Structure 1
Amino acid sequence: MVDPAPPDPIVLPVQQGEELHLFIVSDATGRTAEEVLNAALFQFQTTHVVLHRFPRVLSAPLVERIIAQASELRAVIVCTVVEQELADLLHRRAQQAGVAMVDIMGPIIEAIGRVVHRGPLGAPRTPDMRASAVSLRADAISFTVSHDDGRRIEEVGEADVVLLGVSRAGKTPTSVYLATHGLRVANIPLIPGVRLPEALRQVEPQRVFVLSRAPATLAHLRLARTAVAESGRYADLTTIREEVRAAREEVERFGAGWQSIDVTTLSIEETATQIEQLLGPVGRRPRE
């Protein structure tokens, strides 16, 4: 006979003006849970929140202490515990104590396991793995900063991504954002009367992206960048339209297979996400 499922815990609502206690529980650093939680908390900006962080939760006694504290404070537990026995214990004790809990990793791991037909390792990322990820990002950021605005163009063939665009098309901020995801990025300005460097032919077309904005938006951004008295032709709409036309012609002359993205209505994050999706299987170059 199958035991009936336990009832859902009874969670008393937090009254207006009370503090909401949130417990971040992880068998690693807890950073994943904290990032997800911060995104969710943006929807409740008027709520007074107290965060309690519990990284490296690796024993049953520690789980018991956390549950006791959470019950006393009527806290919500947000967890990323991947070691199966500890995760099961945390779920079971939270249920018994009437503590609300959100498991971020569990449903994702379960869904992937169903698709690939095998179980997870059940091990959190090790310090060596985290150090490797940090090193990858540091390398990408260093490369990206030193290859901004057409610098060190002879090394463009080492880039994972190359961004082209006229001034204020969003090349630099998008480059830096992609670098935080571990991608080496070079960006090159499209300047009227200046030919694109031949070194670009070293780069597979799938890695090159042309960023564009509506001329009126470019004019607004350029005007905001410079004093009105100094803006001159740089922010003049007619000049910008001619600049955009010349840039398009240079790209068409040079860039068979390059991909264009209109970023007029996109945030930096949305632009970067599109690039990562379009980059697809080409991905990151092997690192020495």
Structure 2
Amino acid sequence: MANGSRQAVWEFFGTELKRRREEAGLTQTELGAKVFVSGGYIGQFEQAIRKPQLDVAQRIDQVLQTDGIFERLCRKLIDDPRYADYFAGVVDLEQLATTICEFEPTVVPGLLQTPGYARALILATHPFAADEFIAERVTARVERSAILKDAARPRYWAIVHEGALRTAVGGATVAAEALDHLAELSRQRRVLLQVFPFEAGAPANNGSLRLMEFNDAPPVAYTETSFSGTLVDDPAVVKRAQGAYDLLRGAALSPEMSLDLIESAAEDHRRCASST
């Protein structure tokens, strides 16, 4: 993970720790005594000056009864080979988010991918990888989508460029199945899905963009290119990203028209598959 992205997630760790501690009615000194560190250390954790060891994070979860949140954040930040270094911390943040807004200009968003589609993308970037490596990455990506099935799932709003729908990732059959999955999620109202059409011209944001909001922590923005990602919590920059997303939303097709286009693109892929 890039240093800026890692630091931003540790800062979220500290903000969440402070909120949970205060909800439990504990001072920094009182919590420190319960998890066998000084109150000064707790203050440094909350300010993201010092990073807690895994066993301390586990004890904090036990004392604050936080269902393993701090342990999971700590583990992801320490190491998770299933994700790119710059993305590992984002995975835990999306599990805490109340709202996720995403724009993808070239592919179906990761949370909405089918196993076949995910496998094709991972193979494209790791053509010499072992089958076990590919399978592990696919499983990790598909497991992330579980947050959209939970009753307390975040509100998820995705804008996908039409170019992503027209690209036969994994071949025509795999692409058609991926778009069928998108259409079904839209019909079930599990996600709010819009398509940014070709005729809309240049999008307000050229790369991948994700905005995440939380109950009692500031919103963050995440941008990604082919080889790096950046997690941003600077309020001014996040506000600019939100403005860009509003412009994307305004230029995209309505959810109803988007669903029609997704279904049409899926049918086009099926026709290509049947003609080969």
The structure carrying a bigger helix percent of its residues is 2
Q: Give me the TM-score of the superposition, normalised by structure 1.
A: 0.22
Q: Larger Cα Rg: Structure 1 or Structure 2?
A: 1
Q: Give me the TM-score of the superposition, normalised by structure 2.
A: 0.22
